[in-house]
């Protein structure tokens, strides 16, 4: 069961990455398709090459270097839209978040979809935490229910708090686990640094606008590298290796 969940998460990441990699929905899509795929291939190739053959800090920053290389290539080939550039220039450097947009309403037609989405998100979190356990334990044999329960609880609390503040749905990020495995950086201290970065993003619309300006070719190329680290974990987590998902050694 655990292997199936991890495999499903890997397939989900693959579908998202490929859909963005081949995104040519705009009216200029066909004309610039070769540039789009070229930038995506450069982004993906840079990440994979540095993750395999890189060393030290270069390997740790393989994903960031790949995104920067893809972003530079996209800017040189005209894939960064002028509207996105104008948005970055117009965004203020500093601004405190506000709650003027918060409002509450109940739509009973969304109860069943919400419950199904919650179940799917919970199963995805199980897969994410199982993969984290494997990455950090060379002698891993079966999932540890204690950490899985804590992760699902933290994921649910984060969603509840975010919903109360009127933000978009949140959840555990399989893509970040894939990046951690590719770079070899799995220390929990990184989580505190990322928290500080997210706080800076919340108070800097200009910095957030830079991330939003990333074209689909760069996002798709980066996302396409993630399933490669998830599918091997799915086979290692299969019932052939662990007869019962919740059984303790």
Q: Domain limits of the chain? A: 2-236
Q: Is pLDDT at 237 greater than 50 in this prediction?
A: yes
> How many Å apart are CA 23 and CA 25, to the nearest integer?
6
For residue 72, the model assigns a pLDDT of: 92
**Look-up: residue for tokens 């799995």?**
186
For residue 243, the model assigns a pLDDT of: 45
For residues 205 and 104, is the Cβ–Cβ distance under 8 A? no
For residue 213, the model assigns a pLDDT of: 86
pTM exceeding 0.95: no
The predicted-structure confidence for 172-197, as pLDDT tens digits, reads as follows 777 677 777 767 777 888 888 888 88
Which residue, among 48, 27, 46, 41, has the nearest Cα to 77 in the 3D structure? Answer: 41
| Structure confidence at residue 242 as a pLDDT band (50, 70, 90) | very low
For residues 173 and 155, is the Cβ–Cβ distance under 8 A? no
The predicted-structure confidence for 121-134, as pLDDT tens digits, reads as follows 888 888 888 888 88
For residue 31, the model assigns a pLDDT of: 64
Orientation of helix 227-236 relative to helix 2-21, angle to 10°: 160
Q: Lowest-pLDDT range, 27-41, 81-95, 143-157, 163-177?
A: 27-41
In this structure, the number of other CB atoms found within 10 A of the CB of residue 246 comes to: 12
> How many Å apart are CA 68 and CA 211, to the nearest integer?
11
| Structure confidence at residue 241 as a pLDDT band (50, 70, 90) | very low
Q: Is pLDDT at 53 greater than 50 in this prediction?
A: yes
For residue 73, the model assigns a pLDDT of: 92
| Structure confidence at residue 248 as a pLDDT band (50, 70, 90) | very low
Contacts of 215 (CB under 8 A, 6+ apart): 36, 39, 71, 74, 79, 80, 81
For residues 63 and 182, is the Cβ–Cβ distance under 8 A? yes
Q: Which whole number is the average pLDDT over 137-150? A: 84
Mean pLDDT, the chain, integer: 78
> How many Å apart are CA 48 and CA 45, to the nearest integer?
5
Q: Which whole number is the average pLDDT over 86-95? A: 87
pLDDT above 90 covers what percent of the chain? Answer: 4
């Amino acid at each position: 069961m655990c292997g199936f969940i991890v495999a499903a998460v890997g397939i989900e990441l693959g579908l998202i990455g490929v859909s963005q990699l081949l995104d040519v929905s705009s009216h200029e899509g066909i004309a610039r398709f070769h540039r789009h795929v070229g930038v995506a291939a450069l982004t993906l190739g840079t990440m994979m090459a540095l993750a395999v053959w890189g060393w030290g800090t270069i390997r740790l920053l393989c994903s960031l270097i790949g995104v920067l290389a893809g972003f530079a290539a996209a800017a040189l080939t005209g894939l960064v839209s002028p509207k996105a550039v104008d948005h970055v220039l117009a965004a203020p450097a500093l601004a405190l978040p506000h709650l003027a947009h918060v409002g509450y309403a109940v739509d009973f037609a969304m109860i069943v979809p919400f419950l199904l989405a919650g179940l799917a998100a919970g199963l995805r979190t199980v897969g994410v935490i199982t993969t984290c356990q494997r990455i950090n334990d060379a002698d891993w044999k079966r999932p540890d229910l204690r950490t899985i329960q804590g992760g699902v609880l933290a994921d649910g609390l984060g969603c509840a708090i975010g919903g109360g503040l009127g933000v978009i749905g949140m959840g555990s990020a399989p893509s970040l686990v894939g990046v951690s495995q590719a770079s070899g950086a799995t220390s929990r201290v990184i989580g505190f640094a990322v928290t500080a970065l997210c706080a800076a993003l919340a108070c800097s619309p200009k910095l957030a606008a830079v991330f939003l300006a990333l074209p689909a070719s760069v996002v798709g190329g980066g996302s396409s590298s993630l399933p490669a680290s998830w599918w091997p974990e799915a086979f290692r987590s299969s019932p052939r290796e662990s007869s019962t998902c919740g059984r303790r050694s």
